[in-house]
């Protein structure tokens, strides 16, 4: 089999600090060599001298609303009924392609309208359209009258939103989880509390403990991931205890919460880039601005503590929401590094190693090692020194399973 031999590589393997002058060999869809030596070159091998450019694992964005859309009509589309379903599917695929072009080879859904995510996933897997490795989400599950449900007047007569599904009682949640899984959903999303830009107190609970327990138990019985919008500590601690896989937002991540997250290995998507935008402007009024500023202040203290303690943190945010258009994914890298003060290498680990572990593909993806799948980025410069080379421009090339799916390799051949 002909090989792709990348020489003179600055290697960021997803775990360790960068090492210069490495060689990475790709054969078929796998990495077959990583090291300092130059292996014997065979006829037909493609040898590319990367002249010190960085090779790193593909990135993972793990709180993704593929159908959410800062709309062409000026508003945004949180309800899931703003456009016909086929139109929404095209929006979702366009968004996923923007992510892939920016180096996100793993995308994990956090709620999407109608049954669009699983359909897109199938089209990608079948090779019908290009796209990242996509873990599809479904309608967000919560109870009648929950925060999002009441954003549409009751007298419109909608039983529920296109992007949300109302369930009342443990049995209703069990049925909904099973039905979502039957439709192809691989990560269930619950809406448990208000807070994190959803009007109301962090302490308000939109689901009972019995409902949360039933949903988590059923998702795990069916072998899928389950995540929840959680801002208040009481609900966060309860969900961790009941076995939630991903805490979304985790606004009240104090020392006790951090200890519970470390003990259980529960993943967290802080998603504070969106909060930062509202801390910087009055677009949603002075009250939201003040609350967002407090939230950012709290996270400046909590996130470095969580990182040091070993919490499994993830990248991802509410792109497609008001003022946060899909495609500006690099901005959140800047937020964690420039505003929170975390080391680029730490945040890159969230985006590579941790993302692969979340989707249970840590053996195959997330780091650059012999035997793993060749989901690789070629980046101009070293993002562990200057995150801008990754955050502010697309990678020079994006490889998925050994195929160049975006960009191109330079045509500098080694002698």
Measured from the CB atom, is 198 or 406 closer to Zn ion? 198
CA distance 46 to 25: 10
Q: With b meaning 16 or more CB within 10 Å and e meaning fewer, what string describes 170-195?
A: bebbbebbeebbeebbbbbbbbbbbb
State the nearest-atom distance from the C-beta of 63 to Zn ion, in Å. Answer: 6
What the block records as the tokens of 342 is 């975390």
Gap between the terminal Cα atoms of the chain:
21
Choices 38-46, 77-85, 110-118, 404-412; region in contact with Zn ion by CB under 5 A: 110-118
State the nearest-atom distance from the C-beta of 8 to Zn ion, in Å. Answer: 41
Choices 105-113, 115-123, 148-156, 210-218; region in contact with Zn ion by CB under 5 A: 105-113
Choices 97-105, 156-164, 234-242, 315-323; region in contact with Zn ion by CB under 5 A: 315-323
| Torsion angle of the four alpha carbons 308, 344, 353, 302, in this order, in degrees rounded to the nearest 10 | 30
State the nearest-atom distance from the C-beta of 47 to Zn ion, in Å. Answer: 44
- Residue of 82, 291, 318, 375 interacting with Zn ion (CB under 5 A): 318
Q: What are phi and psi of 91, to 5 degrees?
A: -60, -50
What the block records as the tokens of 152 is 């549409």
State the nearest-atom distance from the C-beta of 180 to Zn ion, in Å. Answer: 17
- What single DSSP character describes residue 335? I
Measured from the CB atom, is 13 or 291 closer to Zn ion? 291
Measured from the CB atom, is 62 or 296 closer to Zn ion? 62
198 with 140: CB under 8 angstroms?
A: no
State the nearest-atom distance from the C-beta of 2 to Zn ion, in Å. Answer: 43
State the nearest-atom distance from the C-beta of 32 to Zn ion, in Å. Answer: 39
Q: Which of 270, 249, 391, 379 is nearest to 334 (CA)?
A: 391
State the nearest-atom distance from the C-beta of 317 to Zn ion, in Å. Answer: 8
CA distance 413 to 415: 6
CA distance 167 to 178: 12
Binding residues for Zn ion, total number by CB under 5 A = 2
Measured from the CB atom, is 193 or 394 closer to Zn ion? 193
Q: With b meaning 16 or more CB within 10 Å and e meaning fewer, what string describes 127-163?
A: eeeebbbbbbbbbbbbbeebbbbeebeeeeeeebbbb
Measured from the CB atom, is 291 or 318 closer to Zn ion? 318
Residue nearest to Zn ion (CB): 318
Establish if 206 lies at the interface with Zn ion (CB under 5 A).
no
Measured from the CB atom, is 91 or 405 closer to Zn ion? 91
Measured from the CB atom, is 23 or 148 closer to Zn ion? 148
Measured from the CB atom, is 196 or 400 closer to Zn ion? 196
Residues making contact with Zn ion (CB under 5 A): 110, 318
């Amino acid at each position: 089999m002909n090989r792709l031999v990348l020489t003179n590589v600055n290697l960021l393997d997803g775990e360790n600090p960068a090492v210069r002058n490495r060689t990475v060999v790709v054969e078929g869809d796998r990495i077959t060599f990583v090291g300092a030596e130059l292996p014997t070159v065979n006829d037909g091998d493609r040898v590319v001298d990367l002249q010190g450019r960085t090779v790193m694992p593909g990135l993972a964005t793990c709180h993704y609303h593929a159908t959410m859309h800062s709309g062409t009509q000026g508003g945004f589309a949180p309800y899931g009924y703003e456009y016909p379903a086929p139109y929404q599917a095209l929006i979702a695929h366009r968004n996923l392609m923007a992510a892939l072009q920016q180096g996100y080879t793993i995308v994990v859904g956090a709620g999407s309208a109608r049954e669009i995510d699983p359909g897109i996933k199938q089209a990608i897997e079948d090779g019908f359209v290009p796209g990242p490795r996509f873990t599809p989400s479904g309608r967000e599950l919560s109870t009648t009258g929950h925060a999002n449900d009441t954003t549409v007047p009751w007298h419109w007569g909608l039983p529920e939103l296109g992007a949300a599904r109302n369930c009342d009682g443990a049995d209703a949640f069990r049925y909904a989880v099973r039905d979502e899984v039957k439709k192809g959903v691989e990560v269930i999303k619950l809406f448990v509390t208000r807070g994190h830009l959803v009007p109301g107190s962090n302490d308000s609970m939109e689901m009972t403990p019995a409902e949360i327990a039933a949903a988590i138990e059923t998702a795990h019985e069916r072998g899928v991931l389950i995540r929840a919008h959680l801002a208040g500590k009481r609900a966060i601690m309860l969900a961790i205890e009941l076995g939630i896989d991903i805490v979304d937002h985790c606004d009240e991540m104090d020392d006790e919460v951090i200890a519970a997250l470390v003990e259980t290995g529960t993943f967290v998507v802080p998603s504070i880039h969106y909060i930062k935008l509202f801390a910087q402007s009055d677009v949603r009024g002075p009250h939201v601005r003040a609350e967002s500023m407090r939230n950012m202040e709290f996270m400046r203290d909590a996130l470095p503590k969580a990182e040091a303690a070993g919490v499994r943190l993830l990248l991802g945010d509410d792109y497609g929401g008001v003022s946060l258009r899909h495609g500006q994914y690099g901005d959140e890298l800047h937020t964690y590094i420039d505003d929170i003060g975390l080391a680029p290498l730490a945040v890159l680990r969230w985006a590579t190693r941790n993302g692969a572990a979340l989707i249970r593909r840590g053996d195959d993806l997330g780091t650059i090692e012999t035997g793993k799948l060749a989901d690789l980025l070629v980046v101009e410069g070293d993002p562990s020194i200057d995150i801008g080379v990754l955050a502010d421009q697309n990678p020079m090339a994006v490889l998925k399973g050994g195929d160049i799916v975006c960009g191109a390799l330079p045509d500098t051949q080694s002698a």
